[in-house]
Amino acid sequence: MTQQDRDIVITEVALRDGSHAISHQYTTEQVINVTKALDEANVPYIEVSHGDGLAGSSLQYGLSLTNEMELIEAAVSVCKQSKIGVLLLPGIGTIKDLNEAANLGVRMARIATHVTEADVSAQHIARAKELGLVTVGFLMMSHMAPVKTLVEQAKLMESYGADTVYVVDSAGAMLPYQVKERIQALKQTLGINIGFHGHNNLSLAMANTLAAIEEGATWIDGSVRCLGAGAGNTQTEVLVSVMDRLKIKTGIDVYKMMDLAENIVAPILNAPQEINRDSLVLGYAGVYSSFLLHARRAAQRFGLDSRDILVELGERKVVGGQEDMIVDIAAEIASKRSKVASS
């Protein structure tokens, strides 16, 4: 089945967003096994990279067990029909990283910025187009901007050459009506594909994904077993089952997705993806989902409740890329409490 024959084009993000859930400890063998199974299930695009995109492996964002270029090369080598994609955040990943990934056989690049900072994506989107890649603009934390601003930023990405622009609910904070109004506004304004990427921190990933599809989004992200930051993403094997029930064509084999989720991906998880108090606070406070593990570590270090750290991050409107502030804020909270206790 070609891309044109699908009503919905699904990108599997377990090997990128899911990296957050296992502290970026993917092995080459795991990536090969998951990719082969996804390829056999006819998933069109599979995203592979550090959770924070190309070159994300660092003390600030979390060190990868395996060099991501090795993982990308391994994934490409076992694909017979699926295409491998990467995520790049300008300021973390560079044009050099994008070139290297393309040389390894990557066929899609998703250029991600904060929802109000699309202007930093111009050269990266342009280069991805020059390399002949399917090029996606990825507007993270889309809940933090008014609809009008989101449209303006999406139009910038379209003008730079993006084939598709995504509404990205990085915090899992959106409600279905908010997804609908954003997708509807982009659909009325842009001449390119509209996509949606959800997180499940408020247990709304599937509902929000369906709302996006109802309003005309045709590029949708999913993650097997919900494997992703926070409480995870829209669960791919469930999504394709729902699409099948709705007679919406994805081209993906439902049974094979069920089997790979159960037999290959589930054993990788340290614990099942679930909505616990920390991930719930992410959605409640509107905080970037990848902050969860960092907040837990800071809370343990300073003897705090991680929820207090996450709520404070939300009040300060901290965005992706500012992970280094988590420790500073935790230290500040602990210091204030110590002063109060001693007074």
269-307 pLDDT, tens digit each: 988 899 988 889 999 999 887 788 888 899 999 999 999
Q: Is the pLDDT of residue 224 over 80?
A: yes
pLDDT of residue 211: 98
Q: Where are the strands (E) in the chain, listed by range?
A: 9-12, 45-47, 83-88, 108-114, 134-140, 164-168, 193-197, 219-222
Round to whole Å and give the CA distance between 209 and 269.
Answer: 24
DSSP-derived 3-state class of residue 77 = helix
Answer yes or no: is pLDDT of 4 > 80: no
Active-site residue identified among 20, 50, 114, 124? 20
* Residue predicted with more confidence, 223 or 65: 223
Cα–Cα distance measured from residue 67 to residue 80, given in angstroms and rounded to the nearest whole number? 23
pLDDT at 58: 84
Is residue 57 pLDDT above 90, yes or no?
A: no
Cα angle at 154 between 153 and 156, to 5 degrees?
65
State yes or no: 16 annotated in a binding site. yes
Residue 117: per-residue pLDDT? 97
Average pLDDT, integer, range 28-48: 98
Q: Looking at the predicted structure, is the pLDDT value of residue 44 above 80?
A: yes
Q: Is 143 among the annotated ligand-binding positions?
A: no
pLDDT score of 318: 83
Distance of alpha carbon 190 from alpha carbon 162, whole angstroms: 11
What is the C-alpha separation between 334 and 319, in angstroms, rounded?
Answer: 22
182 among annotated binding-site residues? no
257 and 224 Cβ atoms separated by less than 8 Å = yes
Domain with CATH 1.10.8.60 in the chain: 290-342
- The CATH code of domain 290-342 reads 1.10.8.60
User: Is residue 320 predicted with pLDDT exceeding 90?
Assistant: no
- 20 part of the active site: yes
Q: Is the pLDDT higher at 59 or at 101?
A: 101
3-state secondary structure of 9: strand
pLDDT of 317: 86
Average pLDDT taken over every residue of the chain: 94
Q: Which band of pLDDT confidence, cut at 50, 70 and 90, is reported for residue 252?
A: very high
pLDDT at 324: 80
Q: What is the mean pLDDT of residues 246-261?
A: 98
**Token pair for 226:** 């919900």
Average pLDDT over residues 38-48: 98
Compare 85 and 291 and report the one with higher pLDDT. Answer: 85
Section 164-171 average pLDDT: 97
Question: Does the pLDDT of residue 6 top 90, yes or no?
Answer: no
- Sequence-ordered list of residues with C-beta below 8 angstroms from that of 152, at least 6 positions apart, any chain: none
Is 199 part of any known ligand binding site? yes
pLDDT given at position 164:
98
Residues of the chain with CATH 3.20.20.70: 3-267
Q: Reply yes or no on whether the pLDDT at 242 is more than 80.
A: yes
pLDDT of residue 154: 98
What would the two tokens of residue 147 be? 């609809």
On whether the 3-267 domain is CATH 3.90.1150.10, my answer is: no
Distance separating alpha carbons of residues 88 and 78, to the nearest angstrom = 23
The reply, when asked if residue 316 is annotated as ligand binding, is: no
> In the predicted model, what is the mean pLDDT of residues 122-133?
98
Q: What is residue 56's predicted lDDT score, i.e. its pLDDT?
A: 92
Q: Which has more confidence, 79 or 270? A: 79
pLDDT at position 68: 96
